Amino acid sequence: MRLSWLFPGWTLISSASAYQNTTISPNCQNACQLLQVAFGPTAVQYFAQDNFTIWDAKQQEVRYACRFEPSNTTDVAAGLRILTGAWCNFAVKCGGHSRDPDFSSSVGGVTIDLKNMNGVEAANNGTRARIGGGAVTADVYAALDARNLTFAGGRVGSVGVGGFATGGGTSPLASRHGWAIDSIYEYELVLPNATVVTVDEHQHPELYWALRGAGGGNFGIITSFVIQNFPQGQLYAGSRAWNGNYTERVIDEVYNLYTSQDNNSNMSLEYYYGYVARSDNYSLAANVRYYDPVEDPQVFDRLDSIPAIARSQRNITLGNLAGPGHIPATPPPLRHLFQTTTNFPSREWLQNSLRIFREEIGEVKSVEGINPQLITYPIPSRAIRGMTVRGGNALGLNGVQGPLFVTLLSTAWASAEDDARVGEFYDRVFKKLEDSAQSLNVYHPYKYIGYGRLGQDIFSSYGEANNERLVQVQESVDPQGIFTSGGLCHGGFKLR
């Protein structure tokens, strides 16, 4: 039975956690003991012995052998040696924003939680910063905000840089600074054989290319990043909400902004179209930003000529906008599903996507706690052009005529009993979204890994040549296949 999160301190007992009976292998019991001997009791936590909280309920339910919390690169390498020596499965966690078990919460094995490795040090007179492999977005914004600097960070403070800045990293600043992976100068990486290497344009260039796009978890454990900083003080941040009468007009105007302002490097926006179970209707909201503190930026005048039911605006730093870095234990986490698709701009497709969402919502209206949000925003031409720097990245978007539209359907719900129903809703919606894109001749195969659903063929979507090249890089650094679907670190989107 599920207990309400209205009662703080009560724990969520999911009706049928598939993991409550996971047995811990002797190998992993042994590994946890060895880790504890090597690093002491504070670096090793056992399941259910503290208030460990991770973003998604499906990962929260996972029964792991123990959690190892290394404090530096040497410890990560030594810990990895212990795990491979004991032949115990493991998962690597940064911000923990994945949606499936074993991505960053190990089923029956060891979760290597990098949370203590979250330092941020400005370097080169503030043009760069070195950040720990366990830093979350809020850690980086906070350190840089204080110096009127920023980076190509994301929208939510608790998202880990580890997953974000290896898969793509779509930023509210993308129209000025591109995607996060294209402003990373260097990775420090613990290879599968526990050797520590510095990966940059000149040292291990193949790995440098591969790390920028393949997500975490295919080549080893990243213990630090060197990122590019940008000057940034407060920015203008607004939000708007409209009633259902204005949906089509708003989407039309959003389309105009996404396309006509493609090369405007002063602003960004995105909308959220949701189903509201409480009132059995739909919500439409948008976040708008102008990168200087101003009053009523003119670029949003036409959008603002549409009557809104709510409108707010403020001057704020990105760190304050993105919010805190921690995941609170109450309310307990919900279950989530993400899935993504990409297409070339089409006004008609954008309008169709909302209609498709409404057509298919019926079956999941009664899902307890359902909160689906359909989000489409552009990959600006600026960001696509930025994908060629320092040898390019692995995403396969070089030379594509921008902007592209990337779509995320993000749904939260409460109970495991509804997992299949939500999954089938996604199957139907994405079939129709992609059929619509195909028939309008605006389909693009690219799938953003950060918004990927398990089972989506992310790496094929980068193009066959890139996929093969990524697999080759993986094989060359991991001949034993430790970080593959058949290996010890088998969760997440794997190249092989």
Ligand X SMILES: *[C@@H]1O[C@H](CO)[C@@H](O)[C@H](O)[C@H]1NC(C)=O
Ligand Y SMILES: Cc1cc2nc3c(=O)[nH]c(=O)nc-3n(C[C@H](O)[C@H](O)[C@H](O)COP(=O)(O)OP(=O)(O)OC[C@H]3O[C@@H](n4cnc5c(N)ncnc54)[C@H](O)[C@@H]3O)c2cc1C
Contacting residues toward ligand X, per CB under 6 A: 9, 16, 18, 20-21, 39, 50-51, 71-72, 74-75, 124-125, 147-148, 191, 193, 195, 233, 243-245, 259, 262-264, 266, 279, 281, 283, 293-295, 313-315, 381, 476-477
Plot region of 124 (φ>0 → left; ψ -120 to 50 → alpha; else → beta) = left
Closest CB to ligand Y among residues 167, 238: 167
Contact call for residue 222 and ligand Y (CB under 6 A) = yes
Instruction: Pick from 120, 221, 257, 356 the residue near ligand Y by CB under 6 A.
Output: 221
Contact call for residue 178 and ligand Y (CB under 6 A) = no
Distance between CA atoms of 154 and 168, rounded to whole angstroms?
Answer: 10
Of residues 271-310, those binding ligand Y (CB under 6 A):
none
Contact call for residue 162 and ligand Y (CB under 6 A) = yes
Is residue 227 within 8 A of residue 128, CB to CB? The reply is: yes
Closest CB to ligand Y among residues 188, 308: 188
Q: Which residues lie below 8 Å from residue 214, measured CB to CB, with a gap of 6+?
A: 166, 167, 394, 449, 459, 470, 474, 493, 495
Q: How near is the Cβ of 265 to ligand X at its closest, in Å?
A: 7
Distance between CA atoms of 365 and 371, rounded to whole angstroms?
Answer: 9
Length of the chain (residues):
496
Closest CB to ligand X among residues 57, 477: 477
Residue type, 114: L
- Answer with the entry of ligand Y, ligand X, none that 125 interacts with (C-beta below 5 to 8 A by kind): ligand X
Please, how many CA atoms are within 13 Å of residue 260, restricted to the half-sphere of its CB?
Answer: 10
Contact call for residue 212 and ligand Y (CB under 6 A) = no
Instruction: Pick from 43, 114, 237, 269 the residue near ligand Y by CB under 6 A.
Output: 114
Q: How near is the Cβ of 214 to ligand X at its closest, in Å?
A: 16
Joined together, the tokens standing for residue 20 give 């409550």
Of residues 119-138, those binding ligand Y (CB under 6 A):
133
- Answer with the entry of ligand X, ligand Y, none that 156 interacts with (C-beta below 5 to 8 A by kind): ligand Y
Q: Single out the residue of 179, 158, 161, 289 nearest to residue 234, CA to CA.
A: 289
Instruction: Find the farthest-apart pair of alpha carbons in the chain and give their distance in angstroms, rounded.
Output: 66
Q: Which residues lie below 8 Å from residue 451, measured CB to CB, with a gap of 6+?
A: 338, 339, 340, 406, 408, 410
What does the binding site for ligand Y look like in residue numbers (CB under 6 A)? 55, 91-98, 103-104, 114, 133, 154-156, 159-160, 162-164, 167-170, 215-217, 221-222, 450, 492
